[in-house]
A and B are shown apart, each in its own frame.
Chain A
Amino acid sequence: MPLFSPALLLHYLCSGPFIHGAMITLLISLVSLCLGIVVGLLLAVAQQVPFRPVRSLVVGYLWLFRGTPVLLQLVFAFNVLPGFGIVLPGFACAVLALGLNEGAYMCEIMRSGIRAVGPGQRLAARALGIEEWQIMLWVVLPQALRIVIPPIGNQFISMLKVSAMVSVIGTQELLLTADQAASMNFRYLEALSAAGIWYLALTTLFMGVQHMIERACRRRGKVESPRLSLIAPTADLEAAR
């Protein structure tokens, strides 16, 4: 075998396990991001509540999840939770740990978005006699979410890469697939390159999607659709009230 075999690289790239691994990576990232957005939005809204214990809980959450490594949270969910009778499959553990962790960062992003909506907008809505929770739902959040679309896009791209850590708990995502393929014939160069190319393909794809969403947001008429999809968590928001 030569030092580098393009044929083997191509074979890996198009092989079932690699495609499957890439799809698992994509799925974990997407689901974790969605969970992160929901958690982040709830935390950010909870921070606006004029009731101290609620705000303290949010601070505690941020302190815990931002103060410990994601890898620790991941391994914790996988190895410690079963001791309490909570046995989750690897995929669920991965999504839980990554999503809750992401929620802490997403909270800060959402909060900056909510803050960017001027106090005059709230005052105007209050003067109309709109209830506080409806002001949040119909006046503040729609504007805040548009502001946070670019940073959310960045978080997603970072999530695609962070999801590689999930390999340590045995979930068959892209990196673990590559590692296992290589350990059978020691062709690390080809296997890891194939995984790298898949990662690049996914991140490039999503940079494109992000670019398109941002452009659509700048054109007024088109703003509805991306905004609505991001508003989806507000159903939970109402339930939480």
Chain B
Amino acid sequence: MSPLLEARGIWKRFGAEDVLKGVDLSVAPRECLVLLGPSGSGKSTLLRCLNLLEPISSGSIRFKGEEIAQARRKSAVQIRRQIGMVFQNFELFQHLTAEDNVALAPMRVNGETPQRARELARQLLCKVHLPDKAGAYPDELSGGQQQRVAIARALAMQPSLILYDEPTSALDPETVGEVLRVMQELAEEGMTSIVVTHEMNFARRAASQVVFIDDGQIAHRATATEFFSGCVPDRVARFLGKIAA
């Protein structure tokens, strides 16, 4: 199947520092790609480059067969509408209820009426198992609930791809499971996703492809079956040992 998103030779320089040094990445429709790597290896930067929040220094990004890396501001906005993003710190809009957080983009971007946008929002809140939290403000929700609202917010634009940037790293251990469950359900429904995470159990259950990134380069890539069959390079094994500890 032709890839939904294909990055070639992504190079990202911040000042004198090279954060990404020629990364190749490709994700097919309905695939779940798990991105692993030590902190500071460039995972988050890579995600932000993929949805054009950060301009890349060189390289190519093809999305649905079209080159987008050099997209102008106006078309970059259009492309971001098709790529959802979930952040480590949720970043829900603090002044809006859960429902309005989800409804904001459909209303302001797609010009939906408030009634229809809110109806869509309530459907999506059901999908993330929060049917009774529509009227709650972010600070009235637990971390896990907030992150599930954030997932619903990303789904509201009906994206073809979702990027998760360490979605469970800021959560209390007891709420991690509920977020991973929603992510896994979406993956099983065929939502294409790229997930930066250290949750190996999630990777084992949901990933189709695992990519290990270190110091701005891809150090190892494998299908999930290969990856979890145990034959990984030493560098990766050491990392896995560390996060399991």
Which residues of A come within 8 Å of B, CB atoms? 118, 120-121, 123-131, 134, 138-139, 142-143, 146, 220, 223, 227
Contact = CB atoms under 8 A, between A and B. Distances in A.
A130 to B, nearest CB: 6
A32 to B, nearest CB: 28
A136 to B, nearest CB: 12
Contacts of A223: 95
Interface of B: 51, 53, 77-85, 87, 89, 91-95, 104-105, 108-109, 137, 140, 150, 153-154, 156-157
Contacts of B85: 124, 127-128
Given A121-B91, A127-B87, A129-B81, 12 more contacts: A120-B87, A124-B91, A126-B53, A127-B53, A127-B84, A128-B104, A129-B78, A129-B80, A129-B157, A130-B105, A131-B109, A139-B93
Contacts of A227: 95
User: Nearest 7 pairs between A and B by C-beta?
Assistant: A129-B81, A124-B91, A127-B85, A129-B80, A128-B105, A120-B91, A142-B95
Nearest to A141: B95
If over half of A's interface residues share one DSSP class (helix, strand or loop), that class is named, otherwise mixed; here it is: helix
A138 B107 CA distance: 11
Contacts of A126: 53, 80
B95 A127 contact: no
B104 A138 contact: yes
Nearest to B106: A128
13 contacts: A120-B89, A126-B53, A127-B83, A128-B104, A129-B81, A129-B82, A130-B77, A130-B104, A130-B109, A134-B109, A138-B104, A142-B95, A227-B95
Given A120-B89, A129-B109, A138-B108, A143 B95 contact: yes
